[in-house]
Structure 1
Amino acid sequence: MSVISEEGVRGESVFKDISADDEDSQPTEIESMCMNCHQNGTTRLLLTKIPFFKEIIVSSFSCDNCDWANTETQSAGRIQDQGVCYTLKVQCKQDLNREVVKAECATTRIPELDFEIPPFTQKGSLSTVEGLIDRAVAGLEQDQPARKATDPEVANKIDEFIEKLRQLKDVEDEFTVVIEDPSGNSFVENPVAPQKDEALTVSRFDRTVQQDIQLGIRADDDLEREPDSNTVEAMRNEVLVFNTNCPECDAPASTNMKLVQIPHFKEVVIMATNCDSCGHRTNEVKSGGATEELGTKITLHITDPSDMTRDVLKSETCAICIPELEFELGMAVVGGKFTTLEGLLKDIKDLIVAKNPFVTGDSGVTNRLQKLREFGEKLDKIVTGEMTVHFILDDPAGNSYLQNVYAPDPDPEMTVEKYTRSFEQNEDLGLNDMRTEGYQEEK
């Protein structure tokens, strides 16, 4: 059995990217009791990274005595600030091969069959859409012999439902798979990245108090309290420092938080974490105000390299679109950021190209890999001024901002539109009382 050393924890991360070329990345083997025959079997543990899912622990048990086997995954990363909901329209058999990471606390639904797998009833898994269906079938079949002996009528109804689940894999009719995860750590693959996936909808939501309690991040008697006005005033006048742990190496680190007033815009909260042990740095921006009455769509025609120095505030609810590249990035994928346009484009390149293990190593598909490399090269050309494009920030909450370098005069290369949110956008923002649609342009 291998041991994780203190140097490994405080220095290089013990969670490795999946790669067929890394011969040193071997699983840890532990002799453990088989829960089926109660003889000794072997448990294998592998600490690895899954894109958009942070770190996970993959465990596999096998018994040579009775041939029983079991696999599961557990999240080793932090619980995200918001929950996530993936809604996938399965339209063809290729959709059954999409990679799916389902956390233990996630709820899985197939609305067409009125079927739901509640949270904490299955272990976390790294599978495919077809694998989710097979696992549901196996769970329903598990106690069928006992049901047929005690209640044949119920057993027959379950057999009929199992057959309906199996027929889904033929994809004769379109059906929907919904994965709702309050921890924010589940994931469904977009096979056409970096383009928008028309069959997949991703939305973020704020957890309820009950969900916080279920995840163990809130005590049963911890009630929501309003912030003290003196505390808010203190935040405006100083940098607040909180002790935390590095999300990469788990070493002790500090997070700095400051309320900042952006000229010609509003107040925002900037949070930055620096790790002295591994050098990891993160920054995150959250709006200091409420959701605006109207959404904001900002369109900038990038014509000169000097545009790269413009300040950008991208909130968590803001989507990014570059029509010339047929590229669209949904809300909360990059997170809230206050940076320059160049910095935001580099973050997008890192997310889509450099830090996407699904298109490298064993997971790499030649055509997809070449496609993403070409996309990264086009982003580089935009940064250097070799390619002119339209850069669009679409924020239904109205909390994003792009610097007007001609202020207070109008910017000839930038337009700002205010629009009334759709019902679906209000649903994503948790605003269910506003149901009108339409745009009105702010000149």
Structure 2
Amino acid sequence: MSVISEENVRGENLFKDLSADRDDCEPTEIESMCMNCHQNGMTRLLLTKIPFFKEVIVSSFSCPHCCWANTEIQSAGRIQEQGVCYTLTVKTKQDLNREVVKADSATTRIPELDFEIPPFTQKGALSTIEGLLDRAAAGLEQDQPVRRAAAPEVADKIDEFIRKLKKLKDVEDEFTLVIEDPSGNSFVENPAAPLKDEALTVSWFKRSVQQDIQLGLRADEDEEEEPVGNDIDTMRDEVLAFNTNCPECNAPASTNMKLVQIPHFKEVIIMATTCDSCGHRTNEVKSGGATEEMGTKITLRITDVSDMTRDVLKSETCGILIPELEFELGMAAVGGKFTTLEGLLKDIKDLTVSRNPFVCGDSSTSDRLEKLHAFGEKLDKIIDGEMVVNFVLDDPAGNSYLQNVYAPDPDPEMTTEKYVRSFQQNEDLGLNDMKTEGYQEEK
């Protein structure tokens, strides 16, 4: 019998990448009782990583006696700082094949049918859009025999609704699927990656107190008072350290935090984590100030390889655009970073090409592989100074920065534009009550 101990796992991640070439990707089998016939069946657990996403636990139960089976997925990662909402307009049958990670804390809605699956009423699932529709229909059909005996009229109405739900799979008309998850651990595939998905909208939101309570992040009796802050002068002069866990191997690690003044910009908080067990390193940047009154769009025309040495502060609310490549990266995709332009472009390549989960295994297609590899080659040309493009940082919070190498004089290759945030951008930033000049609620 294998014993899991700190000595056995330290320095090695329990969550393995799925690969046909690995011998250690076998699931763990546990004999357990079937909840249908109460005889013993088999549960299989697989701890794996979904690149471009996070660690998950996939479990599957099957009973050889009554043939009952059940599968579910649980997030093994941390609850994210913000909730996430995916809004997909399903236009073709190909959209039904999009892969979906739906956490058990997510709410699923189809506005056209006035249909909603509340949070914590279903187990988490790794499926497709079609699979979610089938699962919803199967859940409604499950208690229909009892309803027909007790309330025939209600059963008839539910039968009619099930037919409408199943008819959505024909995609005769467009419909909208909304997955809203306060934990931030749900995911919907973008098959057009690394290009922008015109049918899919991803927005982030600040959790309410009630949602924090549902996720177990605070007790019911917790007061909504802001904690007393640390002395700012102390933070400027010292490097603060606190204990955490490595995001890769989950071993104990240490995170250092420092308040830094960026010339010609503002103060930011830089946090760096180093794991002594697996060697993983990461850095993250948080704005040291409040959200600006207006958003900021910074456009740099990259004309020379020397531009790669420019310092870049990308806040977690900042999106990235490269119009010549028809590329757009959402604001939370690579988190907050303080690096060089070369480092940021390499992170983008790593995220969209090297660690993209849809370029390997059964999910990959030759057309998709060719597009991603071509995109990676274009990024390499930009880094080597062989391709002239416009690089855009679009931050509705106004907390991102791109170094002006001519400072204090204007940079002839860089423009900075201030703009009034839209209603949706204020929603994403948790500024629902903020009113600015030119701000109007969209109805």
Q: TM-score, normalised by structure 1?
A: 0.96
Corresponding residue number in structure 1 for 2:101: 101
Corresponding residue number in structure 2 for 1:309: 309
Corresponding residue number in structure 1 for 2:366: 366
SS at match of 1:293: coil
Deviations along 1:13-36, whole A, 9 cap, x unmatched?
Answer: 111112222233111111111110
SS at match of 1:257: strand
Corresponding residue number in structure 2 for 1:130: 130
| Alpha-carbon distance between aligned partners in 1 of 2:84 and 2:429, rounded to the nearest angstrom | 12
8 Å CA contact 2:251, 2:277 repeated in 1: yes
8 Å CA contact 1:18, 1:357 repeated in 2: no
Change (3 A) 1:246 1:422: same
8 Å CA contact 1:422, 1:436 repeated in 2: no
8 Å CA contact 2:293, 2:436 repeated in 1: no
8 Å CA contact 1:109, 1:177 repeated in 2: yes
Q: TM-score, normalised by structure 2?
A: 0.96
Corresponding residue number in structure 1 for 2:28: 28
Corresponding residue number in structure 2 for 1:211: 211
| Alpha-carbon distance between aligned partners in 1 of 2:344 and 2:86, rounded to the nearest angstrom | 25
| Alpha-carbon distance between aligned partners in 2 of 1:438 and 1:320, rounded to the nearest angstrom | 25
| Alpha-carbon distance between aligned partners in 2 of 1:6 and 1:357, rounded to the nearest angstrom | 29
| Alpha-carbon distance between aligned partners in 1 of 2:285 and 2:236, rounded to the nearest angstrom | 15
8 Å CA contact 1:20, 1:362 repeated in 2: no
Displacement of 1:41 in angstroms is: 0.5
Displacement of 1:312 in angstroms is: 0.6
Deviations along 1:191-249, whole A, 9 cap, x unmatched?
Answer: 00000000000111111122111111222233243343553332222111111111111
SS at match of 2:428: helix
Corresponding residue number in structure 2 for 1:324: 324
| Alpha-carbon distance between aligned partners in 2 of 1:94 and 1:111, rounded to the nearest angstrom | 20
Identity %: 82
What does residue range 13-162 of structure 1 map to in structure 2 within 5 Å?
13-162=13-162
Corresponding residue number in structure 1 for 2:289: 289
Displacement of 1:364 in angstroms is: 1.6
Change (3 A) 1:196 1:8: farther
Change (3 A) 1:65 1:392: same
Displacement of 1:361 in angstroms is: 2.4
Displacement of 1:3 in angstroms is: 4.8
8 Å CA contact 2:52, 2:357 repeated in 1: no
| Alpha-carbon distance between aligned partners in 1 of 2:229 and 2:192, rounded to the nearest angstrom | 48
SS at match of 2:231: helix
Change (3 A) 1:437 1:201: farther
Corresponding residue number in structure 2 for 1:232: 232
Corresponding residue number in structure 1 for 2:431: 431
8 Å CA contact 1:85, 1:179 repeated in 2: yes
8 Å CA contact 2:196, 2:328 repeated in 1: yes
8 Å CA contact 2:246, 2:252 repeated in 1: yes
Residue 255 of structure 1 aligns with an amino acid whose one-letter code is: T
Corresponding residue number in structure 2 for 1:408: 408
SS at match of 2:338: strand
| Alpha-carbon distance between aligned partners in 2 of 1:332 and 1:404, rounded to the nearest angstrom | 24
8 Å CA contact 2:205, 2:427 repeated in 1: no
Change (3 A) 1:230 1:132: closer
| Alpha-carbon distance between aligned partners in 2 of 1:332 and 1:11, rounded to the nearest angstrom | 28
SS at match of 1:169: helix
8 Å CA contact 1:270, 1:285 repeated in 2: yes
| Alpha-carbon distance between aligned partners in 2 of 1:20 and 1:140, rounded to the nearest angstrom | 37
| Number of residue-to-residue matches in the alignment | 439
Q: CA RMSD in A?
A: 1.6
Deviations along 1:308-346, whole A, 9 cap, x unmatched?
Answer: 111111111111000111110011111111111011001
- What runs of 5+ residues in structure 2 fail to find an aligned partner? none
Corresponding residue number in structure 2 for 1:260: 260
Residue 311 of structure 1 aligns with an amino acid whose one-letter code is: D
Residue 178 of structure 2 aligns with an amino acid whose one-letter code is: V
8 Å CA contact 2:104, 2:120 repeated in 1: yes
Give runs of ≥4 in structure 1 deviating > 6 Å.
435-439
Change (3 A) 1:438 1:130: same
Displacement of 1:379 in angstroms is: 0.8
Corresponding residue number in structure 1 for 2:197: 197
SS at match of 1:350: helix
